[in-house]
């Protein structure tokens, strides 16, 4: 088990250094400075719901994760995924809210939970039932490499998931097999949604939320959008950046926009997008399928 990845530094080595990332960091840093300098309206305080999501909090990311949570707590009220969805649906967005979720079910999500529990913040963990409790090193290595483009990282087991649930966190489905839903036919999509829900519900009561693997607009389609609600979920989350503003119309069956957060990133990388989202148009709710 010592071969399993414990630090984000190892992930960076695995993925390789990219000049593109350094350039992006510089551009976002300048962009954030410009936002901060011209922000006479205190734009981050606009009423809205911002969803953020993580994949991991490795041992060398714990310090930054806590720092980020404390920084976000200054201007936002943290709410659960269910509360956030309900506030969008019922047009009850009266101040800046933030909701955190996590995809892929790595064991190091327990590091995140430890910090979140300290501040009584509840996360929604989107789990792939077929990765729960994988123990064989080669199975872990292949799953991480082929599905997640990651070095071998240990996954949560059932005991961990029940522990998270006991601490008030929510559990959602992230599909069986971490598949790209735009490449599946209707039957495979329905079966996957139903089966992943059933497996999780066999231990965790009702599962209401689903997050698309990969999650960009090209990774799902109208068929998979309709299927999520038809098979009994009440929300579907994407990996499309943005946030949700108060609106009286188009508030049902929303595709949830989420901003990815990687602790290793400079915080300007995160706050640039939070600013950008806050300047967004009030009435635009992302739902290309309605």
List residues near Zn ion by CB under 5 A: 103-104, 213
Nearer Cβ to Zn ion (66/104): 104
Nearest approach, Cβ of residue 239 and Zn ion (Å): 8
Nearest approach, Cβ of residue 76 and Zn ion (Å): 24
Cα(121)–Cα(68) distance, rounded to whole angstroms? 13
Nearer Cβ to Zn ion (9/260): 260
Cα(181)–Cα(255) distance, rounded to whole angstroms? 15
Contact predicate 272/31, CB 8 Å: yes
Nearest approach, Cβ of residue 71 and Zn ion (Å): 25
DSSP summary character for residue 217: G
DSSP string, 6-65: --HHHHHHHH---HHHHHHHHHHHHHHHHHHHH-TT-GGGSSEEEEEEES---GGGHHHH
The single residue listed with the structure tokens 């979920």 is 233
Nearest approach, Cβ of residue 78 and Zn ion (Å): 22
Nearest approach, Cβ of residue 14 and Zn ion (Å): 17
Phi, psi of 168 (to 5 degrees): 90, 5
Nearest approach, Cβ of residue 214 and Zn ion (Å): 7
Cα(89)–Cα(250) distance, rounded to whole angstroms? 8
Residue nearest Zn ion, CB atom distance: 103
Nearest approach, Cβ of residue 209 and Zn ion (Å): 14
Nearer Cβ to Zn ion (181/271): 181
Nearer Cβ to Zn ion (103/160): 103
Nearer Cβ to Zn ion (36/139): 139
Helix (H) or strand (E) holding 221: none
Nearer Cβ to Zn ion (172/242): 172
What ranges in 186-236 are assigned the alpha helix state H?
A: 186-204, 222-230
Phi, psi of 101 (to 5 degrees): -135, 170
**Quick one: which of 262, 189, 255, 272 has its CA closest to 223?**
189
Rg of the chain over Cα atoms, rounded to whole angstroms, equals 18
Phi, psi of 212 (to 5 degrees): -65, 135
Nearer Cβ to Zn ion (104/259): 104
């Amino acid at each position: 088990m010592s071969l399993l990845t414990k630090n984000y530094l190892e992930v960076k080595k695995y993925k390789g250094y990219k000049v593109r990332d350094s350039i992006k960091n510089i551009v976002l840093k300048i962009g954030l400075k410009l936002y901060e300098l011209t922000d006479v309206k205190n734009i981050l305080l606009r009423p809205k719901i911002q969803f953020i999501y993580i994949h991991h909090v490795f041992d060398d990311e714990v310090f930054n994760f806590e720092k980020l949570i404390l920084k976000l707590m200054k201007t936002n009220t943290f709410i659960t995924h269910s509360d956030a969805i309900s506030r969008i649906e019922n047009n009850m967005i009266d101040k800046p809210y933030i909701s955190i979720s996590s995809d892929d079910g790595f064991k190091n999500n327990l590091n995140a939970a430890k910090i979140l529990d300290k501040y009584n913040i509840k996360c929604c963990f989107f789990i792939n039932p077929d990765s729960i409790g994988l123990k064989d090193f080669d199975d872990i290595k292949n799953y991480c490499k082929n599905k997640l483009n990651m070095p071998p990282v240990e996954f949560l087991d059932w005991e961990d998931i029940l522990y998270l649930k006991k601490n008030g966190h929510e559990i959602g489905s992230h599909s069986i097999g971490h598949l790209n839903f735009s490449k599946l036919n209707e039957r495979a999509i329905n079966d996957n949604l139903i089966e992943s829900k059933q497996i999780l519900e066999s231990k965790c009561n009702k599962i209401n939320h689903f997050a698309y693997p990969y999650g960009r607009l090209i990774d799902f389609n109208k068929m998979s959008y309709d299927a999520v609600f038809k098979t009994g979920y009440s929300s579907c989350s994407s990996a499309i950046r943005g946030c949700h503003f108060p609106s009286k119309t188009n508030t049902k069956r929303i595709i949830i926009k989420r901003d990815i957060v990687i602790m290793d990133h400079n915080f300007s990388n995160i706050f640039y997008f939070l600013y950008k989202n806050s300047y967004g148009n009030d009435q635009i709710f992302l739902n290309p399928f309605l």
